[in-house]
A and B are shown apart, each in its own frame.
Chain A
Amino acid sequence: MVLPTAARPFYGLIPNFLKRQMMNPKYIFLLVGVLMLSTSCNDILELEPLDAVSETALWNDPELLEIYVNARYEELPHGYVQWAGGLRVTSLTDESYDIHQGPRLTSKYTQGEITPANMHLFGGFWIEAYSAIRNLNTFLEKVDPELGEPVRMAQLIAEVRFLRAWFYTELFSRYGAVPLLTSTITVDGAGQIQERTPVDEIVSFIDSELQEAAEDLPVSYAGNDFGKATKGAALALRARALLYGASPLFGQGTPEQWQAVAEACEALFDLEVYSLSADFQSLFLNVNDPEVIFFKQFVGIRGSEVNFKLGYYTPSGGHNVEEWRLPNGNAGWSQENPLMNLVNEFETITGEIPVLGYTGADDNLAPIINPNADSYDPSDPYADRDPRLSFSIVHDGTMINNREVEFWECGMDSRCEDVQFWWNGALIDHTIRKGLDLSWEPGNGLSSTTPYI
């Protein structure tokens, strides 16, 4: 029996007490009652969880604060998610066709069946953004700026403000006026409706936040912090927010606004850190490219574990974008097939749009060739085009891992039953190449490390 010290004196009392009162049950009950109250250790109910970090621990430990902020970067969405998000959105347009979800997913879009419950399937961003903003606001509300080393604390706060500005930039550029929340809403107050904040107010909020954040952010990071928000990232984001804000989509686009955009860009250029890339092809794979300002890195994760987080499936800490996008001849899934419409948008080497449109019946279309596009050969449509075409789209003849891609019927990348992985064969003879690491090989069991830039 556990008996706290406080109760022990009673033990000595019992015999005498009993002797005196032994025939009177009422006193025994009283005694027992007293004993019980004193033995009851209600403080054993004062417990803390052993599988999570408590409130007090977090906000009093600068090391934990930094870990908290790191997790906020994880909430930045990226386009390399398997079943939803960025990867699929183009399939809702006439840019590409998704061979794996096909008509059943897109019909939800075309038939107007998108609801808050399935919005995440279409790159809906609302839930993720506001969830992240809440976590960022929580930090700004609870952090004690004088807790740790001042420069480091200022930088942490600036990172959080940068991230919050990032989410608001994404929000207003997608949805226009949205509620601008700079503090957390309690459960009790959650029922109150927040008004949408006009776009110009959001933009000026982002502008001032990023100007202040930029002052506390370093120009670059070395070592383990490489990849966090830099001064340049803040300035670039500021320029983007101002640019979008000046867009006629949201208002007039006054000369003052355009002037502000130009000055914001100027501030970024003045850093003299960034310059245009020399190599379009490697740009998307190289986070050290001078053109890269802000990016998300990945590590190879073993196994196919997926986390259900924020409504979509994503491998924890990684993605497999090469496997999803490369053709079946490379053991890929040929997930999205760019349409000819998109291919036609690439100019010829001489700077002309090669195909102006189509003519004829639906089942017998003929391209209208641009008469000025001299170098365009409809029988070899990928030749003599803007080189970005071949860097963006896999087509017949593209070399992947020293192998020529064969989309032609019953070629290695076609949907012909004699072909390996035929069920992953493209339906339209293109797959996406842009941003992919073509040296990827299947079967090592690790997820891709291709960064999202």
Chain B
Amino acid sequence: MFNLAMASVSIGQNTLPLSAIKLGHSGEISVRALFRLIENESDLTFSYHAGDLGHSLDQKIVLATGSQNAEAALQLVSQTEGLQFKRLNNTINVLKAPLLSGDASPLPEEQTYLVKGTVVDENGESLPGATILLKKSGKGTITDIDGHFELEVPDGRQSLIISFIGYITREVAVTPTNTSVKVTMRQNVETFEEIVVVGYGKQKKESITGAISKIETEEITQTKTANVANNLAGRVPGLVINARGGEPGQENMDIFIRGKATTGDASPLFVIDGVANRGTFERLNPEDIESISILKDASAAIYGAQAANGVILVTTKRGKAGAPKLNYSNTFSYTQPAKRQQLMNAPQYLTWLDEQNARNGRPQIYQNIIGDYREGDNDPNIWSSTDWWGEAMDTWSPQYQHNLSLSGGSDQFKYYVSGQHLHQDANFKGSEFGFNQNNIRSNIDASITPFLDVGLDLAGRFENTQGSGGVEGLIRGIYNMAPFEAPYYDNGLLRNTSKGNILPGINGLSGGSETDRAVYNTKLSTNISLDQWVPGLSVNAFGAIDIIDQSRKVLQKPYDIYFLNGEGEYENLRDNTGTINLFQQTDNETSQTYHARVNYSRDFNQHSISGFVAYEQNQVKGEYVSASRIGLISEDLPYLFTGSEANQDNDGRGWQSARVNYFGRFNYSFDDRYLLEATLRIDGSQNFAKDARFGTFPGISAGWRISEESFWKSDFIESLKLRASWGRLGNDRVNSFQYLQVYDIEEAAVFGENPVLGTGLTPATTPNPAITWETAEKTNIGIDLSLFNGLLDFNLDGFYEQRSDILAQRNASVPIYTGIVLPDENIGKTRNMGFEAAILHRRTLNNGFRYRVSGQFTYARNKIVFVDESPFVPKWQKVEGSPIDYLLVYQADGLYQSWEEIESSPHFPDAKPGDVRFVDINNDGSITAEDRILLPYGPTPRVVYGFSLGASWKGLELNAFFQGQSGASTIYRPWDVNQDAWYFENRWISAEATPNAQSPAAWDMSSSTIQEVSTIWVRDNHFLRIKNVELAYTLPERFTDQIRISNFRVFVSGFNLGFLYNSVSLYDPESRSDTGWYYPQQRVLSTGLSLIF
């Protein structure tokens, strides 16, 4: 019985004729080998449970000489082995066809009637090859190519069971009066065979032996932010993402895999469409991303010397054969700071200042004014009350994006082209600051001959950032403003406030910067099948050229600002605001990657062997040029030529790097039960001296699919796999040329009768010829479990990693008189261990209600095993054993309540009642740097987790996602005079009035209370935030069909909506800014639609 379904399923598939797949083989071949052969010849993957198919896999069939094609061969298998094939996407699911008594054996003795029916899928398209069984007798048939079937059934009411692999089995009743049925089958997404992108290839999820997580386009695009990393935070086990800020185009994301595992550069390697070092995924068009795989253990070892921090593989979408499909979507959003700072108001601020005065023995000069404020008698022209945060920051800032993609093609030529436009307004009030991004992409695949495929990927991204040139300075400026001063005079003129009015910086009056950045990613690839000469052999090669062009202009402009002088005149101080100055810099960088790979894949009976050997090289070269002039004649001509030649300046510099890599992988599996993978990579990097240049990075992993064993009989455990891996990986992200003595060119020494600043050459750091990469040894064990027929999936991974050879400076082990600034040496050691778990439950009920609950949890604990510490460091400050980003602070023991208390204990000389009481850890009678202690947590969280809930019914969809973390601490030290009112409201006033004050008395910035960081300024960053909620509605087909649209969806969503729990109420708990001077994380409310034609 052969039925090869070519149905189109809802996520838009093609109907590639299997007859087009030529098999370069004749003679005897096992069924299993035939599948492998077809897999090698095409993008298709066969999926089956080896146990279900019994011995069929090992049966031999004979392929006729000549032009055998896949269709004919599978037809043969279907006939001889009774297997059923169903194609979904590029997967062919194989099922043992039920033993049918056959429509050829009617039951003549009984009265029967004929049932006619049609089986269709959710999109109304016919489903050929569906099985129809009569519940009573097991008699059955299969639908034909149009999805029709006919079945003689015994008289009376009968139940038909309709099943199809990949769909939920249905039962329908027929009676002699109701003999015609139309059955709509719903896809059972749970049973999709998942294909996972791995390093230099793809694997079936079930045959993966490493710790690899995958996230797909639907989840990535569910969150509507402008940075892909924001969309992923908390969604993938082992991926630790913190948004440290929210500036458009500059969100400052921390992205770590399994936390930080090194004191060096801990950022993972990003590989986009097989090419490494193309930058992160943050600015990609999320709609272009097909999937993201996270390689967390030795599975990353195939990336060798760059892989120690894990690898993130991003795969973009490609065209699929079929009619052109046009997809348009948009998102309109409003954004605002997720946490709005509430700074002290004018009376609070003045009270604070006077309390400072009192504490320093100065007269309290604001008492009358504070009284006036209380009475409402203050003259608002002089003593105003300004909420500078509100003056500077918009409540809501618009953001929008449009996406358009077109894909489709034939078997010979497939295309995916897309464009994205994104605009983000900055929160700064009245400014033009913001971020614009245009992404275009064209991924084209052509089959030139049956054995030669060529792909061409062209992607361009054009970013434009209009900024202030220094966001931190602006936010600091907001804090620095005095709330008793109004930003404008009554008549609307900008006021020259005592601390330098920040508004011209906020709204761009005083200038700003503009950065244009173009990123071009190009890749030409080919796949040559040598199967006709050597079965299972193929060659891949690609060349990729990536170019980054960036130009930046910083323009400083004078502006009108007024001062009300004693005569009551408004004096324009424009002349004091400087001249029109321009700084300009252009950077360009070209990266070339060339790759060649020979693959071999073949089955011998139950043994499957595959592998490859490959060579890759990468060269990067870049330079920048910068120039500046002052005193431009007009701000309408912001070009250098209008500036003065006096004091002009220029600079330029170059950089280059190269890598050479040899690597290979070997996979072996026995009967799909025992899986083994070994990789080896030999990497050469220009970062190291000639004889230390090459390093070897092996990885090995194994898996055992217990559930495929014949002895395995479990009703509720559908699949169970155990995995283990070990690998040695490297991290070569260190400064180049540390092995060479080089000489830096610097401005130096003034000579001359007319003194001129000259140039000098100074030895850079002492070279270390022995420098090499960091080495990581990673061990991972994992278990993948699928329960209750796919209703519940569970993964658990435990990992242990030792990092050694971390570059660090020896500490004071060398006498100073040598004059040596010691080079970094490979001496540091760290350890990282933990576990991560993911759980997923999804179900579709018969009434069409679908829901999905998933959660992930990561615990990663790192510690420093060795750094070269000075022997004089007290033992409680030895960082060995501390987390990598440890904090070293004084232990605060509340606040001093009285002078007696101060005098009876060790204290800093300036201590006063209301100041922080520091603990004399070493009991030496004075507070010194030695009294600082190490805290158990740093800013990188030890625990991150997330869970998502999703439900859909009749086109209505609700998704919610929660992100949380724990085990992190950050210093929040309010640095300027005006701060959150919390510090005022909770300050110490006197022992009587505020015995339990949480915050010190009004401090001077020079006081040890604020200068010396103590635990009073440390907050634990525990939170659970409502990261994303989306409500969407997809119009029913009966409407969309009429307007010839295949899918129409509208949504509303919210990002960073709030907290279920937040231990840092004063600031966003993801910020790690000591002072609060950073662009805040954003809350985003969005609405939009998507259309598929």
Hey, which bits of chain A sit against chain B, CB under 8 A?
1-2, 18, 22-25, 28-29, 32-33, 35-36, 39-42, 44-55, 58, 64, 67-68, 70-74, 102-104, 107, 111, 113, 115-116, 126-127, 130-135, 137-138, 178-179, 181, 184-185, 187, 190-191, 193-194, 221-228, 296-299, 301-302, 316-317, 417, 449
Give bound CA distance, A133 to B818, whole Å. 9
Q: A71–B748 contact, CB under 8 A?
A: yes
Q: Which of A1, A111, A187, A449 is most buried by chain B, counting CB atoms within 10 A of its CB?
A: A187
Could you tell me if A67 and B766 are in contact, using CB atoms closer than 8 angstroms?
no
**What are 16 of the A-B contact pairs (CB < 8 Å)?**
A36-B615, A40-B662, A45-B658, A45-B690, A50-B654, A55-B741, A58-B743, A130-B818, A181-B819, A190-B815, A193-B815, A223-B753, A224-B751, A297-B751, A299-B755, A299-B756
* Interchain nearest-CB distance for B387 vs A (Å): 26
The answer for the CA separation of A190 and B617 in the assembled complex, in Å, is 38
Contacting pair A51 B910 (CB below 8 A): no
User: Given A67-B759, A104-B909, are A130 and B823 also a contact pair (CB < 8 Å)?
Assistant: no
Cβ contact within 8 Å between B594 and A55: no
Cβ 8 A contact of A134, one of B654, B818, B1008 = B818
Q: Hey, which chain B residues are within 8 Å of A194, CB to CB?
A: 815, 817-818
Contacts A51-B654, A68-B760, A191-B813; is A134 near B596 (CB within 8 Å)?
no
Contact A116 B743 (CB under 8 A): no
**CB-based nearest B residue for A181:** B817
B814 beta carbon closer than 8 Å to chain A: yes
In the complex with contacts A223-B752, A302-B647, A53-B743 CB distance below 8 A = yes
Besides A135-B762, A299-B755, 11 more A-B contacts (Cβ < 8 Å) are A23-B533, A29-B600, A49-B655, A55-B743, A64-B761, A68-B761, A135-B819, A184-B819, A228-B751, A299-B750, A302-B647
Chain B contacts for A73, CB-based, 8 A: 748-749, 751
User: Distance in Å from the Cβ of B906 to the closest Cβ of chain A?
Assistant: 11
User: For the complex, is B361 an interface residue (Cβ under 8 Å from A)?
Assistant: no
Binding site for A on B (CB under 8 A): 362-363, 365, 530, 533-534, 536-537, 539, 541, 543, 594, 596, 598, 600, 613, 615, 617, 619, 623, 630, 647, 653-660, 662, 684-686, 690, 693, 736-737, 740-753, 755-764, 766, 768, 812-823, 872, 908-910, 926, 928-929, 1006, 1008, 1011
Asked, given contacts A44-B658, A130-B819, A317-B750, whether A68 binds B743 with beta carbons under 8 Å apart, the answer is yes
- Using known A-B contacts A179-B817, A191-B814, determine if residue A40 contacts B741 with beta carbons closer than 8 Å: no
Q: A23-B534, A25-B534, A226-B752 are in contact. Are A45 and B741 (CB under 8 A)?
A: no
Choice from B820, B908, B926 contacting A185 with Cβ under 8 Å: B820
Return the 5 tightest CB-CB contacts between A and B, nearest first: A71-B760, A134-B819, A50-B654, A22-B533, A74-B748
Contacts of A193 in B (CB 8 A): 815
With A and B bound together, what is the CA distance between A104 and B94 in angstroms? 79
> How far is A449 from B756 in the complex, measured between Cα atoms in Å?
11
CB of A122, distance to nearest CB on chain B (Å): 15
Tell me the complex Cα distance, A185–B766, Å. Answer: 11
Expressed in whole angstroms, the minimum distance between the Cβ of A386 and any Cβ of chain B is 32
B653 — which chain A residues lie within 8 A by C-beta? 50-51
Question: A residues within 8 A CB of B820?
Answer: 134, 185, 187, 190
Query: Which residues of A have CB within 8 Å of B743?
Result: 52-55, 58, 68
A52-B764 contact given A33-B613, A104-B909, A190-B820, CB 8 Å threshold: yes
Contact status B764-A127, CB under 8 Å: no
- Tell me if B745 and A187 are in contact (CB < 8 A): no
B734 to chain A, nearest CB (A): 14
Give the residues in chain B near A55, CB-CB below 8 Å. Answer: 740-743
Inter-chain contact B533/A18, CB cutoff 8 Å = yes
Q: Select from chain A the residue with minimum beta-carbon distance to B750.
A: A297
CB distance from B527 to the nearest CB of A (A): 15
Given the known interface contacts A74-B748, A317-B747, the answer about A52 and B818 at a Cβ–Cβ threshold of 8 Å is no
Residues of B within 8 A of A302 (CB): 630, 647
State whether A226 touches B819 (Cβ < 8 A).
no
Query: Are B819 and A103 in touch, CB under 8 angstroms?
Result: no
Nearest B residue (CB) for A446:
B647
Residues of chain A within 8 A of B812, CB atoms compared: 116
* Cβ–Cβ contact A227 & B755, under 8 A: yes
Tell me how far the C-beta of B757 lies from the nearest C-beta in chain A, rounded to whole angstroms. 5
Closest A residue, CB atoms, query B602: A25
Point out the residue from A18, A28, A126, A187 that lies within 8 Å of B823, measured CB to CB: A187
Contacts of B750 in A (CB 8 A): 227, 296-299, 317
Q: How far is the CA of A442 from the CA of B564 in the complex (A)?
A: 23
Bound-state CA distance A301–B647 (Å) is: 10
Query: Is A104 within 8 A of B819, CB to CB?
Result: no
A-side contacts of B814, CB under 8 Å: 187, 190-191
Determine which of A36, A41, A103, A227 lies in contact with B751 in the assembled complex, contact meaning CB atoms within 8 Å.
A227
Which A residues lie within 8 Å of B755 (CB)?
227, 297-299, 449
For A227, the chain B residues whose CB sits under 8 A away are 750-752, 755
Residue numbers in B under 8 Å from A68 (CB-CB): 743, 760-762
Complex CA–CA separation, A52 to B735 (angstroms): 13
User: A103 vs B740: C-alpha distance in the bound complex, in angstroms?
Assistant: 45
| In the complex, residue of chain B having the shortest beta-carbon distance to the beta carbon of A309 | B746
When C-beta atoms are compared, the residue in chain A nearest to B654 turns out to be: A50
Interchain CA distance A401-B762 in the complex, whole Å: 41
Nearest chain B CB to A427 CB, angstrom units: 13
Q: How far is the CA of A136 from the CA of B930 in the complex (A)?
A: 37
Q: A130-B819, A190-B815 are in contact. Are A299 and B757 (CB under 8 A)?
A: yes
Docked Cα-Cα span, A39 to B747, in Å, equals 44
A357 to B113, alpha carbons, bound, how many Å? 131
Q: How far is the CA of A72 from the CA of B594 in the complex (A)?
A: 45
Of the candidates B619, B660, B749, the one having the most CB atoms from chain A within 10 angstroms of its own CB is B749
CB contact between A58 and one of B537, B761, B929 (< 8 Å): that residue: B761
Contact of A135 among B657, B746, B763 (CB under 8 A): B763
Residues in B whose Cβ lies below 8 Å from that of A185: 818-820
CA A25 – CA B690 in complex, angstroms?
Answer: 34
B553 nearest CB across to chain A (Å): 18
- C-alpha spacing A133/B821, complex, angstroms: 13
Q: How distant is B530 from chain A, measured CB to nearest CB, in Å?
A: 7
Q: CB < 8 Å: which of A28, A40, A50, A115 contacts B660? A: A40
Measured between beta carbons, the chain A residues less than 8 angstroms from B657 are: 47
Chain A: minimal CB distance from B758 (Å): 5
Chain B residues with CB below 8 A from A449, complex form: 755
**Cβ of A421 to closest chain B Cβ, rounded Å:** 12
Option from B600, B662, B693, B761 in Cβ contact (under 8 Å) with A45:
B693
- Chain A positions within 8 Å of B1008 at CB level: 104
Given the known interface contacts A39-B615, A42-B660, A54-B740, the answer about A70 and B817 at a Cβ–Cβ threshold of 8 Å is: no
A44 B617 Cβ-Cβ under 8 A: yes
B534 CB contacts on chain A under 8 angstroms: 22-25, 28
What are the residues of chain A within 8 A of B690 when measuring CB–CB?
45-46
With a cutoff of 8 Å between Cβ atoms, the chain A residues found around residue B659 in the complex are 45
Residue with the greatest number of chain B CB neighbours at <10 A, chosen from A45, A130, A316: A45
A44 touches B910 (CB 8 A): no
Once the chains are docked, how many angstroms separate the CA of A222 from the CA of B655?
Answer: 39
The interface centre, meaning the residue of A49, A126, A130 with most chain B CB atoms within 10 A of its CB, is A49
- Docked pose: A213 CA to B763 CA in angstroms: 24
Q: Shortest distance in angstroms between B226's beta carbon and chain A's nearest beta carbon?
A: 33
A50 touches B656 (CB 8 A): yes
Q: Is the pair B749, A70 in contact by a Cβ cutoff of 8 Å?
A: yes
Pair B660/A45 contact, Cβ less than 8 Å: yes
Specify which of B541, B745, B822, B823 is in contact with A52 (CB 8 Å cutoff). Answer: B745
Q: What distance in Å separates the Cβ of A116 from its nearest Cβ neighbour in chain B?
A: 7
CA distance A301 to B752 in the complex (A): 16
Chain B residues with Cβ below 8 Å from A111 are: 926, 928
